[in-house]
A and B are shown apart, each in its own frame.
Chain A
Amino acid sequence: MNLENRKRELAREFSPMLEKTTKTSKIWIGFLIAVILVGVYAFFVQLFKGHIVTGMRDNVVWGIYIINFIFFVCLSYSGAFISGVLHFFKTPWKNSVSRIVEIITVLSLIVGPIFILLCIGRLDRLHYLFIYPRIQSPITWDIIAIMTDLIGCFIYLYLTFIPDFAILRDHSENASKWRQKVYKYLAIGYQDTPTQREKLHKITRTMSAMVIALAIVAYSVLAWIFSLTLQPGWNSSIFAPYFIIAGLYSGISVIIIAMYLIRKYYHLEHYIRKVHFIGAGIVLLVISLLFGYFTFSEYFSRWFSHKLSDANLLNTLFTRYFWMFIFANYIGVLVPIAILFFKKLRTIKSITFAAVIAVIGLWFNRYLIVVPTLESPYLPIQDTREEFVHYTATWIEWSLSFAGVAAFILFFILIMKLVPVIPMSGIIDNEREQKKVKKSFKKIVTE
């Protein structure tokens, strides 16, 4: 088939996904906007009344905002890492998942840092971070790392979008004018000539290697915010690799969940197949084993050394946070392992279920890293009122958290309205590669 005809066919196949909005999706978008609006209201309440409306006090200065921040940023880094690996090593099944991963990467890197802003009591002094940066401070490293990574991820995402923008520019005659203009502008005159293709492949490949390195550095910096602080439960030498593994654990789980929802909602069974779920499931199994190993090493060394502060922290984890600890570190690790270990249990639904358990478990794991540590400081707590000693999130914090999740999903849907979730250029590249292989095979046979 002619290449142009194939491109037109693909554009026609995916255009309903881009242009048509069903009643269900309208209701869904409306619901997400409503959740975001509640979050906006909560934000203004917090802005005008101050942090007194949250559960954070002198002692527990970080609550679920920072947990969401770590969760989303780790998600982003793991997305960048996975996406970089998929591109760099030309993984065979990358085409079906690469765009989902790239969108998750960029969106979580936009949503995540918003939560850190919510932690800041004096937002009017935010610019001080840039005017008076201290290179010695891990917070400064994190700001630099996040900003550099965000720009890198944007560039990388854009590079992978260009060929699809070009296809949509050339073959979406029926699309609205503004959409055509947007495609034309974003395609930057890409005509898929051999030189353009070669240039684009070269820079995409370099950027994919770059985002892997960036993700590792940024991950480590995020972990160092905790591990370089002298607090019980934080001051650990394995925190950086532990965070990398934990991030990959959540990243792969969210990708599996997204794959399941997109496949079901957009009827992409032809592109996102069981083999992709099994592949992702096996990766999740390996990561869950590693995550379990790191978690055990972390807590075991603290328990065995039995320093007073660590003993107090472990006592808190096994009393006040007992069920959360069990869910985070036993159910959240062992259930995915049990499901993914047995071949018979590896169905699309069970793999997705394992991913959901892993995500919830990991969120609890983050909670247990942040809150119980702040509740058991080295120095005794001066004000012993219950709300000063223990932390409980308020409705303001929950509504802003849900608003963040809603914003993430809404942006995801909106991006999927702009470009197909399965890269058309990837399908064409695949077919082109297959033709090349067939030709060379024919040549060998005839010779």
Chain B
Amino acid sequence: MKSLNYKYTIITSLIIAFLFSFNLFAQEEDASNYRMRFNLKTIKQHDNSRLLEASFIGQNKKDRKDRIPVFDAEIAFYNGTDLLGIAKTSNEGIAQLIVPENQIYTTDEDGYINFIAKFEGSDGLDEEEDDIQVKDLFLELNLEEIDSVKTVLVTAFTIDSLGVKTPLEEADLIISINGMISKMILEEGTIEDGEFEFEFPTDIPGDANGDIMVYSIIEDNDDFGNLIQQKSINWGTFKTESVKDGNTLWSEAAPIWMYIVLTILLVGVWANYVYTAINLFKIKKEGQEIALAAEKELEQ
């Protein structure tokens, strides 16, 4: 009995200790526990405007999966020392600024544009800064049918201060189309001497009108950053809307299988009833014959 009590005391103590241990190890959410990640990237968009995007996210020093976005932080974007504009971070910790196509940038002697994103700091957070250097690249996307072959033609070039076009030597390129949820990659290749050619597949359905949005994308290039170009074309092979099957249960007549199943069931059951009735008549007939025979015997 004693040992039983002792056993229960130990188990209870362990359970209590286990429950309290959660409180002992609980961590407070303090900015000092987080390392700030401040990154800048640039995307040259299809209309040649430029998107500057700064992400501002705190990452737990001990638990890397614990990431908290810093929202409502004022980020200033610069080209060298020229202020391009100010944007605030969203709930996801992202601040975006779109610089129009006609913006004239200052460049260094090699033709690189220097972009800087700055956070001035607050009571709880230190000052943050990131910069990126990219060359201004022009990406052109042409969709043509060459000898009845649907072809995607991409050209990429830079323009110097005198207006001379220089084809891009080499860069990775992605050709994708607009999907329902995200972009679907069709081809991953390399632009060489400023040109890339790709035969468009013939089995892409497109939207209800057969239209397809085609994208050519250069991603995270060391010299040019991110570039995207897009064009819509009526190359979809599936242009008619799918004909929906009507609900046969609510139509005038039931589906044929229903009649077949019901008929088999009913015929099976009723055939058995008829068989039973025939046998009952046979029993009755035999009974009548016995009764007649008995009557005749009595008469004799």
Closest B residue to A214 using CB positions:
B269
> In the complex, which of the residues A136, A188, A207, A217 contacts B287, with contact meaning CB atoms closer than 8 Å?
A188
Q: Is there an interface contact between B266 and A136, defined as CB atoms closer than 8 Å?
A: no
CB distance from B231 to the nearest CB of A (A): 44
> In the complex, which of the residues A155, A162, A193 contacts B273, with contact meaning CB atoms closer than 8 Å?
A155
Which A57-101 residues have a C-beta within 8 angstroms of B? none
Residues of B within 8 A of A199 (CB): 279, 282-283
CB distance from B140 to the nearest CB of A (A): 51
CB distance from B269 to the nearest CB of A (A): 6
Per-residue interface assignment for chain B, residues 266 to 300, with 1 indicating a CB less than 8 Å from any chain A CB and 0 otherwise: 10011011011101101111111011000000000
> In the complex, which of the residues B249, B259, B262, B276 contacts A206, with contact meaning CB atoms closer than 8 Å?
B276
CB distance from B183 to the nearest CB of A (A): 33
B250 contacts partner chain A, Cβ-Cβ < 8 Å: yes
14 additional contacts (CB under 8 A) given A159-B276, A188-B283, A199-B282: A136-B249, A136-B250, A136-B258, A148-B270, A152-B269, A152-B273, A187-B287, A189-B287, A189-B291, A190-B283, A196-B287, A199-B283, A203-B275, A206-B276
Q: Is there an interface contact between A196 and B286, defined as CB atoms closer than 8 Å?
A: yes
- What 10 A-B pairs have minimum CB-CB distances, sorted nearest first? A189-B287, A135-B254, A188-B284, A136-B249, A136-B254, A203-B279, A203-B276, A196-B283, A189-B284, A199-B279
Q: Is there an interface contact between B259 and A189, defined as CB atoms closer than 8 Å?
A: no
Q: Is there an interface contact between B286 and A151, defined as CB atoms closer than 8 Å?
A: no
Residues of A within 8 A of B86 (CB): none
B265 contacts partner chain A, Cβ-Cβ < 8 Å: yes
Which A87-128 residues have a C-beta within 8 angstroms of B? none
Q: Is there an interface contact between A193 and B286, defined as CB atoms closer than 8 Å?
A: yes
> In the complex, which of the residues B254, B283, B286 contacts A134, with contact meaning CB atoms closer than 8 Å?
B254
Q: Given A189-B290, A195-B286 in contact, is the A210-B269 Cβ separation under 8 Å?
A: yes
Residues of B within 8 A of A152 (CB): 269, 273
Residues of A within 8 A of B249 (CB): 136
CB distance from B267 to the nearest CB of A (A): 11
Q: Is there an interface contact between A206 and B250, defined as CB atoms closer than 8 Å?
A: no
CB distance from A430 to the nearest CB of B (A): 22
Number of A-B contacts (CB under 8 A): 70
Residues of B within 8 A of A392 (CB): none
Residues of B within 8 A of A210 (CB): 269, 272
Question: With the chains together, A135 CA to B290 CA distance in Å?
Answer: 48
Q: Given A189-B290, A217-B265 in contact, is the A135-B283 Cβ separation under 8 Å?
A: no
Residues of B within 8 A of A190 (CB): 283, 287
Closest B residue to A155 using CB positions:
B276
CB distance from B273 to the nearest CB of A (A): 6
Per-residue interface assignment for chain A, residues 176 to 200, with 1 indicating a CB less than 8 Å from any chain B CB and 0 otherwise: 0000000000011111010110011
Residues of B within 8 A of A217 (CB): 265
CB distance from B34 to the nearest CB of A (A): 35
Residues of B within 8 A of A (CB): 248-250, 253-255, 258-259, 262, 265-266, 269-270, 272-273, 275-277, 279-280, 282-288, 290-291
Residues of B within 8 A of A189 (CB): 283-288, 290-291
Closest B residue to A200 using CB positions:
B283
Closest B residue to A148 using CB positions:
B269
22 A-B residue pairings within 8 Å (CB atoms)? A135-B253, A136-B249, A144-B262, A152-B269, A159-B280, A188-B280, A188-B283, A188-B284, A188-B287, A189-B286, A189-B287, A189-B290, A190-B283, A191-B286, A193-B286, A196-B287, A203-B275, A206-B276, A207-B276, A210-B269, A214-B269, A217-B265
Residues of A within 8 A of B273 (CB): 151-152, 155
Q: Taking each of B249, B272, B275, B291, which has the highest tally of chain A beta carbons within 10 Å of its own beta carbon?
A: B272
CB distance from B252 to the nearest CB of A (A): 9
Per-residue interface assignment for chain A, residues 209 to 224, with 1 indicating a CB less than 8 Å from any chain B CB and 0 otherwise: 0100010010000000
Residues of B within 8 A of A207 (CB): 272, 276
Residues of A within 8 A of B280 (CB): 159, 188, 203
Which A151-171 residues have a C-beta within 8 angstroms of B? 151-152, 155, 159, 162
Q: Is there an interface contact between A135 and B259, defined as CB atoms closer than 8 Å?
A: yes
CB distance from A144 to the nearest CB of B (A): 7
Residues of B within 8 A of A141 (CB): 262
Residues of A within 8 A of B277 (CB): 155
Q: Is there an interface contact between A193 and B290, defined as CB atoms closer than 8 Å?
A: yes
Residues of A within 8 A of B290 (CB): 189, 191, 193
A432 contacts partner chain B, Cβ-Cβ < 8 Å: no
Question: With the chains together, A217 CA to B261 CA distance in Å?
Answer: 12
Residues of B within 8 A of A144 (CB): 262, 266
A349 contacts partner chain B, Cβ-Cβ < 8 Å: no
Residues of B within 8 A of A200 (CB): 279, 283
Question: With the chains together, A340 CA to B172 CA distance in Å?
Answer: 77
CB distance from A166 to the nearest CB of B (A): 9
Question: With the chains together, A162 CA to B265 CA distance in Å?
Answer: 28
Question: With the chains together, A151 CA to B253 CA distance in Å?
Answer: 28
CB distance from B292 to the nearest CB of A (A): 10
Question: With the chains together, A159 CA to B275 CA distance in Å?
Answer: 13
Q: Is there an interface contact between A135 and B272, defined as CB atoms closer than 8 Å?
A: no
Residues of A within 8 A of B276 (CB): 155, 159, 203, 206-207
Question: With the chains together, A18 CA to B276 CA distance in Å?
Answer: 29
Q: Is there an interface contact between A135 and B262, defined as CB atoms closer than 8 Å?
A: yes
Closest B residue to A166 using CB positions:
B287
Closest B residue to A197 using CB positions:
B283
Per-residue interface assignment for chain A, residues 251 to 280, with 1 indicating a CB less than 8 Å from any chain B CB and 0 otherwise: 000000000000000000000000000000
Q: Is there an interface contact between B286 and A135, defined as CB atoms closer than 8 Å?
A: no
Residues of A within 8 A of B284 (CB): 188-189
A202 contacts partner chain B, Cβ-Cβ < 8 Å: yes
Which A205-242 residues have a C-beta within 8 angstroms of B? 206-207, 210, 214, 217
Residues of B within 8 A of A196 (CB): 283, 286-287
CB distance from A240 to the nearest CB of B (A): 15
Question: With the chains together, A191 CA to B253 CA distance in Å?
Answer: 51
Residues of B within 8 A of A155 (CB): 273, 276-277
Residues of A within 8 A of B287 (CB): 187-191, 196
Q: Is there an interface contact between B282 and A206, defined as CB atoms closer than 8 Å?
A: no
Question: With the chains together, A141 CA to B259 CA distance in Å?
Answer: 11
Question: With the chains together, A134 CA to B259 CA distance in Å?
Answer: 11
Residues of B within 8 A of A151 (CB): 273
